[in-house]
Structure 1
Amino acid sequence: MRDWLYDPRLSSWYAFRWRRVLNLFRQRYGLQVRVIIDEAGNFGAADHDFTDQVMYYARETLADPRVIALTFFLWQDPTRSPGNLPNSWVDRCINLDNHISRLAAMPDVPIAPLQPGTPGRAIRVLMPDGSVRVMEMEEYLRGVVATEMSFSWPLEALKAQAVAARSYALAAVANPRHAPTADICTTTHCQAYNESRINPNCDLAVRQTRGQVIMYQNELAVAYYSANCGGHTAANEAVFKGPPLPYLRPVECINPGPKNGHGVGMCQWGAHDMARRGDTYEKILKHYYTGVRISAEMSEPLPTPETEGGEIRGLVTDADGKPLADVRLRLTRDDWAGEAVSGPDGSYRFVHLPAGRYTIEVVGTKLRQEGLTLAEGQRLVIDWKVVAPPTATWQMDVKRQFGLPILAGSLPRAGIEVTLQTPLGLSFKRVSGDRPKYGPGGFEFWTPNPGLYRLSFLDQKFELTLDGQFTLVTFTATSGGTRGSIQGELLDHSGRPVAGRAITLTGDGVSRTATSGNDGRFSFADLEAGDYSVAVADAAVTQTVRCDGRSATTVTLTLPPPSDARPSPSAPPERWAMQVVRKPGTAAIGGRLPEAGIPVAITPPSGQTIHLLSGSQPRLGVGGFEAPATQPGIYTIQFLNQTFRLSTDGQYTFVNFVREDERATRGERQARLVSHRLPTAQAHSLLQHLEADPATRGSFELDEL
């Protein structure tokens, strides 16, 4: 933990003081805490249901026996900074007194033992990356309702959505829409699913309608729905060209449109308006689905869809027999492959399996069983004991191109939380898969500030220097270090580490890019034996390196001196001067150096250093650069062996750096007398007159055109 995090001036930016938090646990609870999960809950204090969100998260978290304690920090921004206001709970909370009193009145939360529960109905979901995930139906619906409807809509509308989505999903189980491998997908081809959208309000709707579906004459209804019918729903045969279904007849709708979607079945915006006027979810569903009943109203048991085939299920535990959650298991048969993820109790399931020979493995480990013979309708139980959590080594490939300041990325699969820390110390989160245009696990961040960015996901951390262009990073999981690697450091001509430069690696069928870190280091992992070329992308520096495919090979790359550098070791150190111009505008520091490619470090009063390269902003000159300067105070600017301090107070400040020897050779020209074309004799006469004046002697010269 860096000391500058505890600077009192940063109290408005860093609410969580971890040393104080650890002391709080020790003194108040008598607990020696070693692990704290930061930002596990992401709440908006201005939300109308802010207190409900906090209470829901507290109940769900404390019910887990693995959680020792849960602490929320309700903090206030003493500086009243507009940039901090969205994060200041005290200032944003709509009714602070009510919020505190409701939290204080919360009853004790009973701890739920982590025991395998009775498995419910399962559904095979085709994920964006092409894998198939087996889920419990009610868990699947949490991600559907929250994606298909806004969590802020009335509860009765959300409950109508939950029942319709459950009916549609069970119909897909009975008649798979992606046969034979999956029942349903995550797009609007079936119904939308995104687990990152899960919300307490939608969860409540799923729980309060658990198991309820739409029935027509004791048969499960296929509950189609769309966003907006435009004032009148459509008959199914008019849109889908199939036989008419008696419960999908055209009806009037309270919402006039505009139309959005196919218009068959329930209109989601119509359900919203009906719920707002006080209608129950049962009334909403019976309005849009003609002659139906809700399964909860019926005395007969709910028909179970036909589930052909067998099942493979079991538990995943650690070496001590404790359940392991979120462990991926892969099942393959001929040209088919499916995946399941263990739940909080360590259980997993593969269902609807035809007879055949299967291979099952725990992804990321060497645990594997081959040649499993499954008979028609057979149920197999296979438990796994994972000695260590699955680990993997990841490689980042970087491609830069002209475009907007966007950091786009791709991971092999969707559903992975990605965190980006900016040069200003702010953190943003995305979930892989929310930008499928970059791949199954695509994601995107807005990165307008030049400097060093830090990306993290799972147990991986990467650093990347950005300077305002479009950058695409692709991550691939390797075999965990079973092959060789090439690692090294990049130095300048005087032996100092160089940060933020792109290093390329090329070989037989291999092309990768890495970025040198603050210490100049870079690495390429998971390499087969062979010869590779390691080069600095924007400099004439290349080195051939042999890798044995088993161990690490170290290389040092040294940049040549600048073309105008004086290589003599006896030469005195360079001296630079800083020229400052201030003017109204965006709170930023713009600068210019005589050449591009010089690493520049700008440290604001907060202490979070911004790393960038001269030349990243060519509009300011060949060596132009720019960094935000939103914090008033003293900024430190460093490059080569030079250090300058600059005071700013929220305006735009431009700094121009020149070598002292350059200023001397130029005679520090600050003005130039330019005459119109003169006869030669007259020009010489004027020059003699200027040379005769001590104030201008040696400052002028004669240019012959």
Structure 2
Amino acid sequence: MQQTKPLVIALSSLMAITLIVPALLVLPFKDKAPIEKAEVLHEVVSSAPPAPVTNAIEVAVYRTEADAVENVPLEAYVEGVLASEMPAEFELEALKAQALAARTYIVKQMLHHDNMGLPDGANVTDTVLHQVFKNEAELRENWGPDFDWKMDKIRKAVQATTGQIITFNNEPITPAFFSTSNGYTENSEAYWQNPFPYLTSVESPWDKVSPKFSTQKIMTVQEFERKLNIKLPSDGSLGTILGRTPGKRIEAVQIGGKTFTGREIREKLDLRSTDFTWMRTGSEIVITTKGYGHGVGMSQYGANGMAQSGKTYEEIIHYYYKGVNISPLTNFQTALASY
């Protein structure tokens, strides 16, 4: 019996090595994420998993109706914005593009500490002043029996872009977006004061199927004159168009002895876009607009049309935002952590 003891010990040692070595070979690769298609096509992936970064970031949202600040994890915030800003019925790739724009917007907002006019401790409001946001309870109430499938689709779009933002010259962009174009997007300087090299006019023919592509608004002559603070000439004319923008919208118009920009007309008359025509019929003025929104950046209906034709969210982003990159959020982890 004493002679068999060394043999038992040797066999036991061999079995232990047999068990341990495979474990050592497997463990270093256990948590490695699979390579996605997006990682091959674009430089968008970080060597570290993005989830811990996004989970550690909270957005302080000022809830206007409650008059209180709600702290929301970044990805939950992106879900709430996506669900509020784009119909869940849209194509998944369009939803992914919108999720990427929503995440980019809030990251830029937080990095630049742009809290002017906000209550203490808030990063953004939950209105169109920044991005419309609704939490899960509000969405459940709004969607009713459709909540489960809509929320599943929203989450799928957000998760597909987790850890990604849109950058230009290694900085988050201003990811402007709007509902429906008139067939073209607009140069940023044609609507706002500042030009952005990635916000330039492109064709967007997919928007013609949007229910918001063409609309009419009727108002009385008196209301028209009051809102513009003018007096129309007695010959029934309605002014002269002085120029058009690169996006085929009204740049300026002269009416009643005054000159207005297209944006001023839109805001004073509460029109859907700056591409408009008008005609006087007796005591009324009929105004027809094409498109819905400022026209700068990504058209949501255009994005959906591109997705329906087989384009990926990366292709949609690169089409509407010229010269940008899709970059890992981990590049900004230190700056966000110090916020």
Contact 2:79 2:154 in 1 (8 A): yes
Structure 1 Cα separation of the partners of residues 53 and 170 of structure 2: 29
Where do 5+ consecutive residues of structure 2 fail to align? Answer: 1-51, 141-150, 214-289
Structure 1 Cα separation of the partners of residues 128 and 306 of structure 2: 24
Structure 1 Cα separation of the partners of residues 293 and 126 of structure 2: 17
Structure 2 Cα separation of the partners of residues 189 and 117 of structure 1: 27
Contact 1:174 1:305 in 2 (8 A): no
Which residue of structure 2 aligns with residue 247 of structure 1?
A: 198
Superimposed CA distance per residue, residues 299-321 of structure 1 (whole angstroms, 9 cap, x where no aligned partner): x9522474587xxxxxxxxxxxx
Which residue of structure 2 aligns with residue 124 of structure 1?
A: 60
Contact 2:55 2:74 in 1 (8 A): no
Contact 1:143 1:193 in 2 (8 A): yes
Structure 2 Cα separation of the partners of residues 117 and 219 of structure 1: 18
Contact 1:170 1:305 in 2 (8 A): no
SS of equivalent to 2:56:
coil
Structure 1 Cα separation of the partners of residues 188 and 335 of structure 2: 24
Contact 2:57 2:337 in 1 (8 A): no
Superimposed CA distance per residue, residues 300-352 of structure 1 (whole angstroms, 9 cap, x where no aligned partner): 9522474587xxxxxxxxxxxxxxxxxxxxxxxxxxxxxxxxxxxxxxxxxx5
**Are 2:295 and 1:263 equivalent residues in the alignment?**
yes
The structure that is strand-richer by fraction is 1
2:162 to 191, 202, 210: 210
1:86-485 map, 5 Å: 119-128=55-64, 129-175=66-112, 176-177=114-115, 178-179=117-118, 181-195=121-135, 196-197=138-139, 199-242=151-194, 244-254=195-205, 255-256=207-208, 257=213, 258-295=290-327, 301-304=330-333, 306-307=335-336, 352=339
| Rg larger in structure | 1
Change (3 A) 1:235 1:117: closer
The structure that is helix-richer by fraction is 2
- Cα deviation, residue 236, structure 1: 1.6
Instruction: Give the TM-score of the pair, scaled to structure 1.
Output: 0.26
Contact 1:171 1:305 in 2 (8 A): no
Contact 1:127 1:186 in 2 (8 A): yes
Contact 1:225 1:268 in 2 (8 A): yes
Contact 1:173 1:305 in 2 (8 A): no
Superimposed CA distance per residue, residues 556-608 of structure 1 (whole angstroms, 9 cap, x where no aligned partner): xxxxxxxxxxxxxxxxxxxxxxxxxxxxxxxxxxxxxxxxxxxxxxxxxxxxx
Superimposed CA distance per residue, residues 664-686 of structure 1 (whole angstroms, 9 cap, x where no aligned partner): xxxxxxxxxxxxxxxxxxxxxxx
Change (3 A) 1:165 1:140: same
Contact 2:55 2:75 in 1 (8 A): no
- Cα deviation, residue 141, structure 1: 0.9
Which residue of structure 1 aligns with residue 22 of structure 2?
A: none
CA RMSD of aligned residues (A): 2.4
Contact 1:144 1:192 in 2 (8 A): yes
Counterpart of 2:58 in structure 1: which amino acid? A
Where do 5+ consecutive residues of structure 1 fail to align? Answer: 1-115, 310-351, 353-705
Which residue of structure 2 aligns with residue 583 of structure 1?
A: none
Superimposed CA distance per residue, residues 51-72 of structure 1 (whole angstroms, 9 cap, x where no aligned partner): xxxxxxxxxxxxxxxxxxxxxx
Contact 1:123 1:135 in 2 (8 A): yes
- Cα deviation, residue 118, structure 1: 8.6
Instruction: Give the TM-score of the pair, scaled to structure 2.
Output: 0.52
- Cα deviation, residue 137, structure 1: 0.6
Percent identity over the alignment is 35
Number of aligned pairs?
191
Which residue of structure 2 aligns with residue 528 of structure 1?
A: none
Change (3 A) 1:301 1:125: closer
Contact 2:181 2:293 in 1 (8 A): yes
Structure 2 Cα separation of the partners of residues 305 and 156 of structure 1: 30
- Cα deviation, residue 188, structure 1: 1.1
Counterpart of 1:154 in structure 2: which amino acid? E
Structure 2 Cα separation of the partners of residues 251 and 192 of structure 1: 26
Structure 2 Cα separation of the partners of residues 236 and 181 of structure 1: 30
SS of equivalent to 1:135:
strand
Superimposed CA distance per residue, residues 198-254 of structure 1 (whole angstroms, 9 cap, x where no aligned partner): 711011100111011101121111111111122111122222212x11111111112
Structure 1 Cα separation of the partners of residues 158 and 337 of structure 2: 27
Q: Indicate the structure whose relative CO is greater, using CA pairs within 8 Å and at least 6 residues apart.
A: 2
SS of equivalent to 1:302:
helix
- Cα deviation, residue 181, structure 1: 3.1
Superimposed CA distance per residue, residues 632-663 of structure 1 (whole angstroms, 9 cap, x where no aligned partner): xxxxxxxxxxxxxxxxxxxxxxxxxxxxxxxx
